[in-house]
Amino acid sequence: MRLLKNGLPIPAGQSVKLAPGSYHVMLVELKAPLKKGEKIPVTLKFEKAGEVNVTLDVRDIGATSPGSNRMDRTMPDMKQPMKMSPDHKM
């Protein structure tokens, strides 16, 4: 992870998806731990659109987005990485 000192460019008419493992927002210098179920007010600052207030829902680590059909692929009880054979087809 690294700070984008000049912000995240979003070309006109396009969008950028924020997601784990990709671009995302990191909250730093929190005054208290976040708790599942809380709603956190956040202000996003855009160069041309100004400030946009949003509310973030605090969810479990590894949770998928609301309405997502994506399966949660975390395996908390797994002790070592899974290995696939070289001829495995996906």
pLDDT at residue 80 is higher than 50 = no
The whole-number average pLDDT for the span 55-70 is: 72
The count of residues in the chain is 90
* Nearby residues of 23 by Cβ (< 8 Å), 6 or more positions away: 8, 16, 17
Asked if residue 8 lies in contact with residue 16, where contact means CB atoms within 8 angstroms, the answer is: yes
Confidence class of residue 40 from pLDDT cuts 50, 70 and 90? very high
Asked if residue 41 lies in contact with residue 53, where contact means CB atoms within 8 angstroms, the answer is: yes
Q: What is the pLDDT of residue 37?
A: 93
Please name the residue that has the structure tokens 């949660």.
72
Q: What is the pLDDT of residue 86?
A: 53
Q: What is the pLDDT of residue 43?
A: 92
Q: What is the pLDDT of residue 65?
A: 63
